[in-house]
Amino acid sequence: MDAPDKQVARDDGLDAPTFDHMSKWIELFYDLIFVAAILIFSSAVAHVHPSSGIAWIVLVFGASWWVWFTTTVCANRFHMVDLRHRLLLLFQMLVIVLMAMEARVSVTGDSTYLVLEYGFLLVTIAVVALRAARLGGPDAGYAVRLALLNAVAAGCFFAAALLPESGRLSAAAVALTLLVLVSIGLLHRVKDFSNRDEQHLVERMGAFTLIVCGESFVEVAISVSSATIDKVDVVSLVFEFILVFAVFTSYFEDIPAAGLNQRRFGSWAVLHLVAQVCIAGTAVGASKLINLSAAHRLPDIEILKLTTPMAVLYLALAGVGACTRRRPVAPLAVARVSTAAAIVVAGAAAWWIPWIHMAEALPMFAAIAIIHAFVVVRLRAGTRVIDAAVLAFS
**Is it the case that residue 301 has pLDDT exceeding 70?**
no
pLDDT tens digits for range 305-321: 788 999 999 999 999 99
Instruction: Report pLDDT digits (tens) over 82-129.
Output: 888 889 999 999 999 899 888 877 766 778 899 999 999 999 999 999
Per-residue model confidence as pLDDT tens digits over 241-286? 888 899 999 999 999 999 999 888 889 999 999 999 999 888 777 7
Task: List Cα–Cα distances, 216 to 222, 270, 301, in angstroms.
Answer: 10, 20, 20
Residue 60 has pLDDT above 60, yes or no: yes
Residues in contact with 25: Cβ distance below 8 Å, sequence separation at least 6, in sequence order: none
Res. 361: pLDDT tops 50: yes
What are the residue boundaries of the structural domains of the chain, listed by start? 23-189, 195-392
pLDDT of residue 50: 61
Confidence of residue 379 (pLDDT cuts 50, 70, 90): very high
For position 38, what pLDDT does the model report? 82
Supply the mean pLDDT for the chain. Answer: 83
Confidence class for position 9, pLDDT limits 50, 70, 90: very low
